[in-house]
Structure 1
Amino acid sequence: MRKMPGIIFGFVFCFSIFAQVDVNFDKKMEEYKANLEKFKTELKSPDSFIRQDACMALGVAGDTSALPSIRELLEDPDENVRAAAISSLSLLQDKPSITNIIILGLKDKFGVVRASAASSLAILGEKKCIPALRVLMQSDKDSMVKAAAAVSLNSFGDSSGLETVRALTKDRNKDVRIYSAAMLAATGDLGYVSIIREGLAASDKTIRGACVNVLSNLADEESYKRLKYISKNDDDELIRQVAFRGVLLIESKKKEKK
């Protein structure tokens, strides 16, 4: 089963790189919008991976006509699809009507859904979710969920959980270490770059995507070399594209410094 912790990082954060390289971003969005009907059909695919990817594609493309179908996926039997539905809805729907629904996702029995809900609430920015996030940060048994909740709380001005996330960068579980380091990078804390570089070889494409995004913003020579390699050799097409745009972004920053 494919693990997708904090799906917001792996998909939506990747697209922040597209946004910084305007021509490529516009081209990618045109491709997505040209395939909207195909994605809508794929929401009903018997393949959960296809449903998940179609759900996120519609969210990134901003297709609000797909809202009813995406909301149905909140009850999908596959936890990764439910996580994708939450992330997609946070991009498509207005804050008041969706926040309560996403807060319910914090109680899902699967950590991937709870982490997705925590990250999505940070995007929505509704303060009424703060108590629920605090409970999650303090009591959840899943380390990645705790990290997602702590970083989301930080976006509301509550940094009390960041030390917990920093401690998780020393966790025995490699994925937890990498995920926590990438989460901290989202707050501007880039003190764990060596751990983030480990994530470039992670089997989970969500984690690889998050790490590519972080390194694209560093503009140091080591990150540049690694991104160039990934842009040509990663198994996932989206990550290759994001890495390539990261390379372009770093090259652009280098030119500005000269």
Structure 2
Amino acid sequence: MLRSTLLACALLALVIASAPAVLAHGGNYTGPTGGGTPGYGGPTGGGTGQPGGEPGNGNPGGGDPGTTGQPGNPGGGAGAPVRPGGGARSGGGRSLRGGRTAGRTKKTAGTGYLDWNTWWDLNEERFLNLKHKLGGRDNSSVDRDTIWGLKDDDIARVTRKLIRNAVLPTLKVGLSDSFYDVRAGAVIALGKVGDASRPELVEDMSALLADTDQRVRESVCLGLGILGSTDALPILREILEDTPKGRKWVGRSQVASRTRAFASVAVGLIGAREKVGFDNPAVASVLANLTRPGATLDLQVGPAIALQLMQSKDMAPALMQVLKDETQAPKVRAHVAVAIGKLGHEGAVGTLNALLGHKHNHLARSAAIALGLLGKAEDRRTVGNLIRQARGARDRGLKNFAIMALGEIGGSKARAALMSLLKTGKGLDRNFAALALGVDAFQHKQDRRDIGRLLLKKFTTEKNDVFRSAAAIGLGLVGYEPARQPLRAILAKGGAQTLKGHVCTALGLMNDRDAIPAITKLVADRGDPDLRKAAAISLGLLRDLEAVDTLRKVIAASTNSKAILGAATVALGYIGDRSAVEILVDFVENPDQKHQGVSRAFATVALGFLGDKDELPMLSRIHEHSNYLAPTSALTELLTIL
């Protein structure tokens, strides 16, 4: 949900290892969103090109480091650029277009994307489900004044009326902001909060397709997809096909490959809401680009992701044909395998089992992911094959995905294998086993006491903070109440900020309201922005009445710190109290000209969170169960946007 520096560093390292071409444009990589420098607290948007530039139609996702053995080591180098608005819920995580906060935690560039944090940051939405938890709270209240004429309410949800009267007009103001990241954040936020039945929104958003900045143009495509209006399909098709009309829409002599990939994903986002079939020209274009000879990887992987979203079983035969076609690039087939898993096509289980031993790691990894979605606890062949890969695969990425697949499938045999890995495994094996056991307990509700007891024993006896962070999240997913006191004790000590962030998340998952005072102190204290954001979101999970007031005070005291301001502003949006609307509207509209572009961008992102019409953000459907180890330029960017 909320992302920080760690995941962006990991994905940046991975895409550099995978695609040297993205280092073009003057020789300096400007970040997955355009120009950040280490420690920079402002936005850097979303492109590999320079602001306003055109990256051309090369193959930015080329290269295939995953043929054998470990992924390539991208080497050292500076930290990732940072943007407003992301930051981690749990002390690590992703950015989003329109923003990310800069954290202080650093991670070695060669291995970050292989640790458990990356998987968790891309999959956490379905476990945390903050909006559902906040929406389900009772309306017991205290007498406290709020703005917009509201009184006597706790964390009160934003109404559609308030969205129409305050949020939508303000986001439309953001579309014409002088700062590109405000425009990018505003158009995605409009997609989140907007009603697809209002045709003027498609018109307002499409007007930015000719923006001078490619990052904004890509954001428009995503915003239209998230909005979900079928009125946008003809526009997206023209962009995807790079037609004269499409070029006119973007105001360029040709449409960049990555922008076209974003358009294909947008078609899939619309298809996730509305029934659109093969006979729709936009869907037909998506399918055609999936296998088009000579297409860039972005132009093939984008359609594969779109088909993951649409989840139409009618498409299974066509996808199976691509999966089995050895003339197709391994990365394309890998993302098609994930699509087949998300479609729920059980007829693919035999093929996927065979692919677990494929020489191309991208394919083997995706087979493990898909089997986690399709496999059954009683399927001895699938569970046995995954256990063998979890224990003995030479490729680290395959081991990781196999371990998580066992957690997804559940059952006594898979659970015993995971508990054995937790007891006797080393390093990353233990980290992933701890997380997978939490996933198993969360989803299948079996043997939770035994799992919780083992995780707590390991948490209290081990000293490695990376492992303890994974174990903390595992305990939170299990909901193991005896762990509450040991977890709370971590918050009172010095030590790793990342561990504390994950502990905050775990306590929120456990609904440990006794932890509220300690977590509130972390929000209010000056320090790591990612930790403060994780703590703030934990207060939301715990339904704390005072969280909004605490964050308002932090915002008022943080005008000179872009990182802290961003963390507090976006956390305010995530918690979703409607009393936050006035603050955020003032930031975006900026009537007194006192808020910098960074602050305005933070606020557009927060408004999108606050008024999102979906219980889970639409883009989480791309993030979860993704093969993030098979990157292209477009996919890497998509995985850094909420």
Q: Same fold (TM over 0.5)?
A: yes
**Counterpart in the other structure of 2:127:** 15
Q: Give CA deviations for 1:57-97 in whole Å, capped at 9, x if unaligned.
A: 111221111112111221250000111111211222443x2
**Counterpart in the other structure of 2:250:** none
SS of corresponding position for 1:120: helix
Q: Give CA deviations for 1:94-137 in whole Å, capped at 9, x if unaligned.
A: 43x22222111111521122111111222222223333211112
SS of corresponding position for 1:233: coil
Identify if the C-alpha distance between structure 1 residues 77 and 214 changes in structure 2 by more than 3 Å, giving closer, same or farther: farther
- Is 1:147–1:165's contact at 8 Å kept on the other side of the alignment? no
The structure with the larger Rg is 2
Count of matched residue pairs: 198
Identify if the C-alpha distance between structure 1 residues 70 and 94 changes in structure 2 by more than 3 Å, giving closer, same or farther: closer
C-alpha distance in 2, partners of 1:146/1:73?
22
Letter in 2 for 1:115: K
**Counterpart in the other structure of 1:215:** 619
Larger helix percent: 1
In the alignment, structure 1 residue 112 sits paired with structure 2 residue 530: yes
- Is 2:576–2:609's contact at 8 Å kept on the other side of the alignment? no
**Counterpart in the other structure of 1:66:** 483
- Is 2:468–2:499's contact at 8 Å kept on the other side of the alignment? yes
Task: Select which of 551, 568, 591 maps to 1:146.
Answer: 568
Identify if the C-alpha distance between structure 1 residues 55 and 156 changes in structure 2 by more than 3 Å, giving closer, same or farther: farther
Runs of 5+ in structure 2 lacking a partner?
Answer: 8-86, 94-120, 133-341, 343-371, 374-407, 411-435, 443-447, 631-642
User: 1:76-91 residue pairs with structure 2 within 5 A?
Assistant: 76-91=494-509
- Is 2:570–2:605's contact at 8 Å kept on the other side of the alignment? no
- Is 2:573–2:608's contact at 8 Å kept on the other side of the alignment? no
C-alpha distance in 2, partners of 1:130/1:232?
33
Identify if the C-alpha distance between structure 1 residues 82 and 94 changes in structure 2 by more than 3 Å, giving closer, same or farther: closer
In the alignment, structure 1 residue 30 sits paired with structure 2 residue 440: yes
Identify if the C-alpha distance between structure 1 residues 94 and 135 changes in structure 2 by more than 3 Å, giving closer, same or farther: same
RMSD after superposition:
4.2
Task: Select which of 579, 583, 588 maps to 1:157.
Answer: 579
C-alpha distance in 1, partners of 2:565/2:584?
13
Runs of 5+ in structure 1 lacking a partner?
Answer: 191-211, 218-226, 237-258
Letter in 1 for 2:581: S
**Counterpart in the other structure of 1:234:** 628
C-alpha distance in 2, partners of 1:56/1:47?
15
C-alpha distance in 2, partners of 1:233/1:14?
17
Identify if the C-alpha distance between structure 1 residues 143 and 132 changes in structure 2 by more than 3 Å, giving closer, same or farther: closer
Q: Could you state the TM-score of these two structures normalised by the residue count of structure 1?
A: 0.59
In the alignment, structure 1 residue 53 sits paired with structure 2 residue 475: no
SS of corresponding position for 2:498: helix
Task: Select which of 3, 6, 29 maps to 2:6.
Answer: 3
- Is 2:522–2:531's contact at 8 Å kept on the other side of the alignment? yes
- Is 2:555–2:565's contact at 8 Å kept on the other side of the alignment? no
SS of corresponding position for 1:82: helix
In the alignment, structure 1 residue 187 sits paired with structure 2 residue 610: yes
Identify if the C-alpha distance between structure 1 residues 138 and 98 changes in structure 2 by more than 3 Å, giving closer, same or farther: same
Identify if the C-alpha distance between structure 1 residues 235 and 182 changes in structure 2 by more than 3 Å, giving closer, same or farther: farther
Identify if the C-alpha distance between structure 1 residues 138 and 132 changes in structure 2 by more than 3 Å, giving closer, same or farther: same
Percent of aligned pairs with the same residue?
15
1:12: how far off?
Answer: 4.3
1:36: how far off?
Answer: 2.5
